[in-house]
């Protein structure tokens, strides 16, 4: 799931084509479906996350976004769209999903009807740091497990602030070091502090919350993938197992957080 390239050895920023390959491999993966069903049996099957979500976390995001019917939600780095589509449907909102992987955008577009949102959801190719969306056009923005991917997460936060209307809220899920001085963590992760990233981008009322149950989803999905054994040619499952072996080593050094902030009224 390409969760977090910089949990392990320092590596270059992943490109859109890295993700294209991951999305192409996972589309028909029975192995991934089995892992999700075993790890999070209550998660609606159609969500097919490329991230680490539970029903409880989705409900939390939904409350934090506080959307009302007819408002516009932007899902930043939407992947194949499930989380944003679920959140928009739950609120009676419209949705624009943005991702730099054209394969993800294609898959998300094909899944709109599954959520009954054909008349009010669409997906576009764009970068977290340059979405191509107009200024002040979104009522709320969500970003699930992705805002750390650009070299400068602050540039992604600034882009979210640009597209949000005054008073609009950004809500994101991510990882943060428990101890920023811990030398076992790669430098890029050590310096990841969502409160200061959102502050720097001009957000007000910034909150960062860590809950053990959100961290549990993350490690449970990985452990379930490893328990699945021989991937038997399922490359998406094999990739997830590789990722699990690497990430579980440092999983206890990070918190899984929900960070949020409000785009201020210009004065
Ligand atoms: C871990 S996946 C999460 C996908 C989706 N949010 C979900 O919950 O299923 C990370 C996503 O970030 C996207 N991504 C990574 N870097 C990006 C960037 N700079 N601009 C736009 N999308 C990016 C990837 O293509 C991928 O869809």
Report helix, strand or coil for 132.
Answer: coil
Query: pLDDT for 47-89, tens place per residue?
Result: 999 999 999 999 999 999 999 999 999 999 999 999 999 999 9
Query: pLDDT for 126-148, tens place per residue?
Result: 999 999 999 999 999 999 999 99
Q: What is the dihedral of CA 94, 130, 266, 193, to 10 degrees?
A: 100
Q: What pLDDT does residue 9 have?
A: 38
Which carries the bigger pLDDT value, residue 6 or residue 130? 130
19-30 mean pLDDT:
94
Q: What pLDDT does residue 10 have?
A: 40
Report the number of distinct structural domains present in the chain.
1
Burial status of residue 181 (CB atoms within 10 A of its CB: 0-12, 13-18, 19 or more): exposed
Give the model's confidence band at 12: pLDDT under 50 very low, under 70 low, under 90 confident, else very high. confident
Is-contact 163 74, C-beta < 8 A?
Answer: yes
Beta strands 204-210 and 121-125 are unpaired
Answer whether residue 9 is part of any domain.
no
pLDDT at 3 over 90: no
Q: Cβ < 6 Å from ligand 1: which residues? A: 1-3, 19, 49-51, 77-79, 83, 99-101, 104, 127-128, 144-146, 149-150
Which carries the bigger pLDDT value, residue 180 or residue 91? 91
CATH of residue 244's domain is 3.40.50.150
Q: What pLDDT does residue 4 have?
A: 47
Q: What angle do CA 16, 18, 24 make, to 5 degrees?
A: 95
Query: What token pair was written down for 244?
Result: 């699990």
Domain extent for 240 = 16-262
Nearest CA to ligand 1 atom 10: 146
Strands (E), 56-137: 72-76, 94-99, 121-125
Q: Atom of ligand 1 at shortest distance to CA of 101?
A: 25
Q: Atom of ligand 1 at shortest distance to CA of 53?
A: 8
pLDDT at 163 over 90: yes
pLDDT at 264 over 90: no
Answer whether residue 1 is part of any domain.
no
């Amino acid at each position: 799931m390409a969760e977090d390239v910089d949990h392990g050895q320092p590596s270059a920023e992943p490109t859109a084509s890295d993700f294209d390959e991951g999305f192409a491999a996972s589309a028909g993966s029975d192995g991934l479906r089995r892992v999700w069903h075993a790890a999070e049996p209550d998660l609606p099957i159609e969500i097919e996350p490329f991230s680490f979500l539970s029903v409880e976390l989705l409900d939390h995001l939904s409350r934090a976004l506080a959307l009302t019917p007819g408002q516009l939600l932007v899902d930043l780095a939407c992947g194949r769209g499930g989380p944003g589509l679920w959140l928009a449907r739950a609120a009676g909102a419209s949705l624009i999903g943005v991702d730099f992987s054209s394969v993800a955008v294609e898959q998300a577009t094909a899944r709109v009807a599954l959520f009954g949102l054909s008349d009010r959801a669409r997906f576009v190719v764009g970068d977290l740091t340059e979405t191509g969306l107009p200024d002040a056009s979104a009522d709320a923005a969500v970003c699930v497990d992705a805002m750390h991917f650009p070299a400068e997460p602050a540039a992604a936060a600034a882009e979210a602030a640009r597209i949000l209307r005054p008073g609009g809220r950004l809500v994101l899920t991510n990882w943060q070091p428990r101890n920023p001085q811990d030398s076992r963590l790669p430098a890029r992760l050590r310096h990841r502090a969502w409160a200061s990233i959102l502050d720097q981008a001009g957000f007000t009322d910034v909150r960062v919350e860590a809950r053990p149950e959100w961290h549990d989803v993350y490690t449970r999905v990985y452990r379930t993938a490893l328990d699945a054994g021989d991937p038997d040619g399922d490359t998406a499952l094999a990739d997830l197992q590789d990722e699990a072996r690497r990430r579980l080593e440092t999983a206890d050094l990070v918190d899984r957080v929900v960070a949020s902030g409000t785009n201020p009224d210009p004065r």
